[in-house]
A = this chain, B = another copy of it.
Amino acid sequence: MKMSGGVEWALHCAVVLNAAERPVPAARLAELHDVSASYLAKQLQALSRAEIIRSVQGHAGGYELARPATSITVLDVVEAVDGAQPAFVCTEIRQRGPLATPPEACDKPCPVFRAMNAADQAWRAALRAVTIADLADDVVADNGEGAFTLVRAWL
């Protein structure tokens, strides 16, 4: 039950890209966060495939947000990097073994799956309720408006 560590990088990058107005190369983002550039590239490619960020190729290229930050949820980023499939997969144990439940009695999902699925939905709902713009607002509330000004200047 461990999430890919790249999710954290991807979220921070999304917040930074929201502050920037010009495309930012992957190498610059890696330097800013002091992480492996080669590996961060992988996460950014995943975000690009999910159409969360857009890649601009060529000399002054880089990445930029593909949509307004208010319409990018944290769940979008998590699913893009870590995969959209739910954490719990029901293998229909009840239909196996000597006392297998007959398939015709399995019109409803099994109780174990229902409980796990409800928790998964709650988790996703919580992540869907927060957008990248919300995160940016929180950063301002914590560290002041100057934080992003500094980042913009450094990029």
Contact = CB atoms under 8 A, between A and B. Distances in A.
Interface of A: 1-5, 7-9, 11-12, 15, 31-35, 74, 78, 82-83, 85, 87-91, 93-94, 96-99, 101, 105, 108, 110-112, 114-116, 118-120, 122-127, 130, 134-135, 138-139, 142-143, 147, 150-151, 154
Nearest to A9: B93
A32 B1 contact: no
Contacts of A32: 97-99
15 contacts: A1-B82, A2-B85, A8-B88, A8-B90, A8-B93, A31-B98, A32-B99, A35-B96, A87-B87, A105-B143, A108-B142, A111-B138, A115-B127, A119-B123, A119-B126
Contacts of A31: 97-98
A112 to B, nearest CB: 5
Given A12-B112, A90-B8, A119-B126, A96 B1 contact: no
A54 to B, nearest CB: 22
